[in-house]
């Protein structure tokens, strides 16, 4: 498979998240260069970036390897997301463009339609697109980069069960889009915090040794949220 040199980092990261490169496995520059159809230079640069992001570690006598995060490290990521996503939503309410708002509203209409009809196959990708757009709308490169990296790492470490009540979930997406459209930063923050707290319960640590995935324990630091009726 040949890809552009500047996309090597994304390709390796996507393959790590998908489990193509297993946890703890070696990442040899020569083999990666052959796999992605590039020279070793962009592979070397990609591995440095992925090490900074926490997907790769360098081990003595082994070189670059896929990281093996602990359960505590995985739990910390969900807690970080619960703190940062509400901030991102508040900033989006203050800084979003009309283009961002158009995409958010379109995704809400489509998601709510699919949820009512019970056709849930597309709901996960639509939800991911919604949250990616919201992150892009926050107007902060640092916050966007951090939240994007968090979403990649959470997808790597956790499997997410389908929502038991997709209609309610997409009602929350709609309430969030409405708050962003009105420029109501505090409302957007509160709705995003509630949505993140509820969605955390659907996350299960991925099993890499044949064991059953573990449910995520509730945070010991509950998030103070407003009711969606406020």
Judgement on whether residues 91 and 27 belong to the same structural domain of the protein = no
Q: Distance between CA atoms of 97 and 104, rounded to whole angstroms?
A: 11
The residue range of the domain holding 96 is 71-205
Report how far Cα 24 is from the mean position of its chain's Cα atoms: 22
What was the pLDDT predicted at 6? 80
Long-range contacts of 16-21 (CB under 8 A, 24+ apart): 16/50, 16/55, 16/56, 16/66, 16/156, 17/152, 17/155, 17/156, 21/66
Say yes or no to pLDDT of 216 above 60. Answer: no
Residue 209 clears pLDDT 70, i.e. is over it: no
The structure tokens listed for 91 are: 């900033």
Find the CATH number of the domain harbouring 49.
1.10.10.10
Count: domains in the chain: 2
pTM reported for the whole predicted model: 0.81
CA dist., res. 112 & res. 116, Å (int): 6
Query: Same domain for 78 and 142?
Result: yes
Q: Note the helical H segments in the chain.
A: 8-18, 29-36, 40-53, 71-95, 98-117, 123-136, 141-157, 166-182, 185-200
pLDDT in tens, 38-48: 999 999 999 99
The answer on 171 and 102 residing in a single domain is yes
Q: What is the CATH number of the domain that holds 168?
A: 1.20.120.530
**Banded model confidence at residue 61, pLDDT cuts 50, 70, 90:** confident
Separation between Cα atoms, residue 173 and residue 138, nearest integer Å: 16
d(CA 36, CA 127): 29
| Contact criterion met (CB below 8 Å) for 159 and 206 | yes
Give the Cα separation of 108 and 170 in Å (integer).
7
Same domain, 160 and 119: yes
Q: What percent of the chain has pLDDT over 70?
A: 88
Q: CA–CA separation, 151 vs 202, rounded Å?
A: 15
Q: Are residues 38 and 126 in the same domain?
A: no
Torsion of Cα atoms, 85 then 86 then 92 then 93, to 10°: 160
229 occurs within a structural domain: no
Question: Are the C-beta atoms of residues 160 and 128 closer than 8 Å to each other?
Answer: no
Residue 220 within any structural domain of the chain:
no
Alpha carbons within 13 angstroms on the beta-carbon side of residue 22 total 4
pLDDT averaged over every residue in the chain: 88
**Does the residue 228 lie in any domain?**
no
pLDDT tens for each residue of 94-142: 999 999 999 999 999 999 999 988 766 788 889 999 999 999 999 999 9
Residue 143 lies in a domain: yes
Do 84 and 192 lie in a common domain? yes
Token readout for 84 is 């940062």
Amino acid 94: pLDDT: 97
Segment among 43-52, 66-75, 169-178, 206-215 with least mean pLDDT? 206-215
Band the pLDDT of 211: cuts 50, 70, 90: very low
Give 205's strand partners: 158
Residue 63 — φ and ψ, nearest 5°? 80, -150
Q: What is the dihedral of CA 224, 227, 228, 230, to 10 degrees?
A: -110
Yes or no: say if 78 and 200 are a contact pair by the CB < 8 Å rule: yes
Domain for residue 227, yes or no? no
51 falls within a domain: yes
């Amino acid at each position: 498979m040949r890809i552009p040199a500047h996309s090597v980092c994304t390709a390796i990261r996507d393959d790590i998240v998908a489990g193509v490169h297993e946890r703890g496995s070696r990442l040899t520059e020569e083999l990666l260069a052959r796999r992605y159809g590039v020279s070793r230079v962009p592979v070397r640069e990609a591995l440095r970036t992925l090490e900074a992001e926490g997907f790769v570690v360098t081990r003595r006598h082994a070189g670059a390897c896929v990281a093996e995060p602990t359960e505590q490290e995985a739990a910390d990521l969900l807690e970080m997301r619960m703190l940062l996503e509400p901030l991102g939503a508040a900033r989006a309410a203050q800084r979003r463009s009309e283009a961002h708002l158009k995409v958010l509203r379109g995704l809400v209409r489509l998601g709510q339609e699919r949820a009512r009809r019970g056709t849930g196959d597309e709901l996960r990708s639509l939800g991911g697109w919604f949250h990616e757009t919201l992150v892009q709308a926050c107007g902060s490169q640092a916050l966007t980069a951090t939240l994007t990296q968090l979403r990649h790492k959470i997808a790597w470490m956790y499997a997410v069960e389908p929502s038991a009540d997709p209609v309610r979930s997409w009602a929350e997406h709609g309430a969030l889009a409405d708050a962003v459209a009105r420029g109501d930063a505090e409302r957007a923050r509160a709705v995003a915090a509630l949505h993140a707290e509820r969605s955390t319960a659907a996350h299960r640590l991925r099993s890499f040794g044949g064991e059953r995935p573990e449910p995520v324990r509730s945070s010991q630091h509950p998030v103070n949220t407003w009711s969606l009726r406020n």
